[in-house]
């Protein structure tokens, strides 16, 4: 992003600039956590930004998340350093892009009952662009390299860690994990891929365990984040019709554990965001 200037309003800092042909404004959400107070603060930050910058048309929620691995099929396997863009599941009638699970309980039949809040934009422009780009040689890797150059000297390890640090484990219950091999790639498949699928949140399902895997299969989820429902409530409440969540995968749980891949995963997510914005038609005003 070509930065123009920074605006400080109360406790929030807004950076204004351009990406491609589009004017953008960014802010950092308060530290998201497992308390509703933290999420209320994040929702209030979003409401304040959208109130100050009322001409915002497209909303990008960009950060890290926990990936949902697949243990046998590499085409459905999400690895550390990959990026998940929130898009509807093609085989489900309800075209949500983000789903928040408030409650997950076992039922009498041995399955699960869920209490959820689904979110879907009125306009799927950003999702359509992402789907189109995943079928092309999109330049997000170029933007990752560009970011690495700009981040020289900035604290943090922005380069991708060694492959050996990407360890995959199976939860066998009672807090016991067994390390297994990643499924083998086929043909030209490689690391650093972009997946288009729903993203989910909610402490009832985001942690490790059977509920997490069951809900991911139920909702076709490929990434979990740290509960952004309050943020999306603000986005929808402010009548922003076009929004997307972009999650760089930093771990295989809920996005809050494991620091080694976080910096690179955040950079990868930002690179995919830039790719989508650059691919958008120029504004007409």
**What distances in angstroms separate CA 157 from CA 84, 187, 189, 261, 276, one per listed residue?**
21, 30, 25, 8, 25
pLDDT band at 10 (very low <50, low <70, confident <90, very high): low
> What integer pLDDT is reported at residue 5 of this predicted model?
59
Nearest-angstrom CA–CA distance, 187 and 153 = 37
Q: Would you list the domain boundaries of the chain?
A: 58-279
> What integer pLDDT is reported at residue 34 of this predicted model?
58
**CATH 1.20.58 correct for 58-279:** no
pTM greater than the 0.85 cutoff: yes
- pLDDT, tens only, 194-251: 999 999 999 889 876 788 889 999 999 999 987 889 999 999 999 999 999 999 999 9
Q: pLDDT exceeding 70 applies to what percent of the chain? A: 90
> Can you tell me the mean pLDDT for 57-85?
94
The distance of Cα 51 from the centroid of its chain, to the nearest Å, equals: 24
In the predicted structure, residue 189 carries a pLDDT above the cut 80: no
């Amino acid at each position: 992003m070509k930065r123009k200037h920074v605006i400080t309003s109360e406790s929030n800092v807004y950076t204004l600039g351009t990406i491609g042909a589009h004017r953008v404004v960014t802010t950092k959400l308060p530290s998201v956590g497992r308390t509703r107070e933290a999420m209320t603060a994040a929702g209030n930050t979003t409401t304040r930004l959208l109130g100050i910058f009322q001409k915002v048309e497209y909303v990008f929620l960009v950060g890290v998340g926990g990936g949902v691995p697949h243990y046998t099929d590499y085409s459905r396997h999400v690895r550390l350093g990959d990026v998940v863009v929130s898009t509807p599941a093609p085989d489900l009638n309800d075209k949500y892009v983000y789903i928040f699970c408030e409650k997950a309980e076992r039922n009498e039949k041995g399955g699960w009952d869920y209490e959820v809040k689904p979110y879907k934009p009125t306009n799927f422009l950003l999702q359509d662009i992402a789907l189109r780009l995943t079928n092309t040689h999109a330049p997000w890797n170029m933007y990752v390299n560009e970011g690495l150059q700009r981040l020289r000297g900035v604290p943090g390890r922005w380069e991708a860690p060694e492959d050996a640090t990407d360890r995959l484990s199976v939860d066998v219950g009672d807090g016991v994990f067994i390390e297994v091999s990643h499924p083998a790639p086929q043909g030209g498949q490689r690391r650093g891929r972009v997946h288009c699928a729903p993203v989910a949140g909610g402490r009832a399902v985001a942690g490790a365990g059977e509920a997490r895997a069951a809900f991911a299969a139920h909702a076709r989820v490929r990434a979990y984040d740290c509960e952004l429902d309050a943020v999306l409530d603000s986005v929808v409440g402010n009548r922003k019709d076009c929004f997307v969540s972009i999650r760089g995968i930093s771990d295989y749980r809920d996005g809050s554990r494991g620091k080694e891949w976080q910096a690179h995963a955040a950079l990868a997510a930002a690179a995919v965001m830039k790719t989508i914005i650059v691919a958008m038609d120029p504004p007409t005003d």
